[in-house]
Amino acid sequence: MDLTDIRDALVVRNADLSGSRFQDVNLSRTTFRNADLSMGIISDARLRGVRIENADLTDLTLCDCRLAGATIDGVPVEAMIAAYRTLNPETD
């Protein structure tokens, strides 16, 4: 499926998006519910207000994405990354 120049917020339900690539996109306000995003890539994306609920994120790669304010089960993602880098300085 090719979605080009979409301006509306998307609601994605019960979808198998495994292996999908989201590159240089604005996914702001998108909701993924009961979605399979496994083995996918999300790169250079704006993710403000995105909700991912009851989804399979196995082997999903996020790179060059803005993650300010993002949480996983209530834990700020930026804090997780900072803690990881403190424990693993060779990964910077």
- pLDDT confidence bin for 69, thresholds 50/70/90: confident
pLDDT top residue among 28 and 3: 28
In this predicted structure, which of 4-8, 40-44, 79-83 has the lowest mean pLDDT?
4-8
**Predicted pLDDT of residue 84:** 92
**Predicted pLDDT of residue 72:** 87
> CB under 8 Å to 65, separation ≥6 — which residues?
42, 43, 44, 45, 46, 47
pLDDT digits (tens, 9 = 90+) for 16-61: 999 999 999 888 889 999 999 999 999 999 888 899 999 999 999 9
| Coil, strand or helix at 78 | helix
Helix-then-strand count for the chain, H and E: 1, 8
Domain 11-91: assigned CATH number: 2.160.20.80
Calculate the CA 45 to chain-centre distance.
8
